[in-house]
Chains A and B, each alone.
Chain A
Amino acid sequence: MSLPVTCLVVYASLSQVHRVKRHLYQSGVFVDMVRAPQCLVRGCSFALRCDETLLPAIRATSQELAIEIRGAFAEIATIGYSPLP
C-alpha cells in the first residue's frame, strides 16, 4: 500500500489562492495555503497544499474560475518536489 502524497499547487498571487480555496471550501473541500518554495517558483508565490486525492477538484475549480495554475508538485521526502502532469 502506497503512502498518501502531499501536493503543492502554485498560483501567481495569494488573491488567486484565496479565491480557489474559498470555492473549494464552499464545496466542502478543505485545503491549506502556504508560501511556494523558492526552488519551485522565482519570486513571491503562494500555493495550495493538499493530499493528491484533492488535486482533480483543485484543477477543476481553477479552470472554472479561469485561474491559471503555475505548477503542481508532489512533495517527496528524498528529492524535494517532483512536477506533476
Chain B
Amino acid sequence: MKASRGFQDKLKLIVIHKLLTLVGTGSVLFAVGMILAVTVTNYKNAKDNATVYSNKFENVYNEGAKFLRDETLQDLCKQILNYEKDTSQLPYMIYEFNASFPMQVKIVLSDKERNIVYKSYSDMEWDFYRNSFNKAICANAFLVGLDEIYSSVYYFNGNASNYVMSKPIYEYGITIGYLNLYIEDQWEECLYNAEYEGIITDYRGRVIHSSRQSFITGINKFEPESNQSIININGRRYWQYRQELEEAGVIIYSLIYYPRNNSLLFAAVGLIFLMTVWWFVLANVMAESMAQSNSAAVSKLVKEIKAIGEENSSYRITMATEDEFAEIGLSINQMLDSINELNLKNTELLRINNITEINQLTAQVNPHFLYNTLEIIRNLLIFDSKKADSLIVKLTQILRYSINNSRKYVCLEEDMLYIKDYLEIQKSRFEDNLHFAIAIDEPCLQCIVPKLLLQPLIENSIKYGFRKKMKIQVGIQGKMEGNILYLSVTDDGVGMTKEEAESLQQSIYEAVTESEHNGLHNIARRLYLLYGLDSGLDIIPMETEGLKVVIRINLERGMSCTK
C-alpha cells in the first residue's frame, strides 16, 4: 500500500497547490477590487465636487472680468481720472452690476499714484490696512499685460477674505489708474449644491473660500503638505483632488473625508484571513477525499495485478469503479488474453515443430522405405548395376538432405529436387504402376517454404493409393495468385467422401487431434501457426476418384529466395 499512499499524497499536494493558488489570487483580487472601488468612488466624487466649484468660480470670474473690461465702464473711469467727469455715475453702474452678480462686490478706483479716486466702501470700512493693501494690488496690477487682469486675495484679521480682480486703466498705452473689484466671500451660498468639502486658493495658497474654517492654517493659508491623493488636515484624512483655473489664478481643492477606518480595515483583513483559512481547510479536506477516492481505484488495481502475478495467469481483473481505472483493468485483461494466446500458439508451434522433425527424421530413416529401397538396389545390382548405382546416389542425396537438420526453411526449388529424387526411388520400386507429373510455375520455385513440406502428402498418396489400387497417378502442381502460393498434391487413389473430407478438414485445424491423419493435421497447424489464418490446408475430394490436398501459403509474411 506504500505506492498508492505516495500517489495519494502527491495527488493531495497537487490539489492543495492549485487550490491555494486559487485562494491566493482570489484574496489578492478581492483586496485589489476593494481598494479600486474605494479609489474610483473617491476620485469620482472629488472630481465632481471640484467641477461644481470650478464652474461656479469660472462663472464669477468671467462675469467680473467682463464687467472690468466693459468699454462703457472703462471710458467712464478714464474720464473720471482725467477730471472730465465726477464719480456720480459709478455707483449706478456698480448697483446694476451687483444686481446681476451672484455676490456682493465693491469697487475701488485709484489713480496712477494709487490714491483713491472712488471707493464703494464706507469710510468706516476703509482703514489703513485696506488702503495699503489696495496700493500693493495696484502696484502688482501695473505689471500685468495690456488686457490682463491681476487677481489677489485680500484678508485681514479673521474676517472672510475677498477675491480681488484688478484691471489697470490705460490711455494711449499708459497706465492712468486702476479699477479694483473686491468680491466678498459669499461662496457658501453659491456653492450650496457642492456635496463635499472644498477650498479655493490662489497660487500662493491664500484662501479665497473654504467650506470649513478649520482647513485654514496660518494666516489665511491652505497649503496641503503634499500633492498626494490622501492628505491629512488637522489629523483628519481627506481624499484630495486639485483643479487649477489658470486664467483666474486659483486652485480648487476638492476634499472627501476619508477616515482611516481601522475597524473596516480590520474587518476586511479579518474576512480575507478567515476566507483564506476556510478555503485552506476546505482545500485540504477536498484534496484528501479526492486523493483517497482516486487512490482507492489505484490500490484496487495494484491489488488485482498483484493477484495475477502471485496466484495464476488466468486470473482476470475485476474493477467496479466505472472510470478510467476500470478501462485500464479491461485493457490489462485483453493484454493478458492475447499474451496467453500467443503463449499457447508458441508452445504448440514448438510442439508441432518437434513432431514434424521427428516425423521427417522418421520418414527418412523410415525402415520400410529404406528396406524397400535397399531391396530394389540389391535386385538391380544383379540385373542392372548401372541403375542400381544411380539409385544409390539418389538415396544418398535424400538421406543427406533430410538429415541436414540445420535449415528449417528452404527454397521450393530445392525441396522439389528432393521430391523428385524421392519420387524417382518410388518409381523404380513401383515401375509403371506409379506415375507422377510435376507442374510448378516458375515464380513458385523461388518461394521459401518449410523444409519437406510436400513429402508427407506424397507419401500419404502413395501409401493410401496402393492399398486399394494397383496403379496410381500423383500430380504435383504449384502456382501463385498474388501473394498466395498454392501447392497441391493430387492422386487418383481411393479418395474420400465429401463428408469425410469435411470432417477431416475441420479436425485438422483443432489444436489437438488423435485422428489417423496426424500428418495432415500437423502440416495444417504448422502453416496456420507460421503464416496466419489465411494459410493452411484444404482437402478437396475429386469428382471421380482420388483426393486433392492444397497447401495455401500467404507469402506476405514470408520470404523469397535470393540468388
| A and B found bound together | no
User: Residues of A at under 8 Å CB distance from B?
Assistant: none
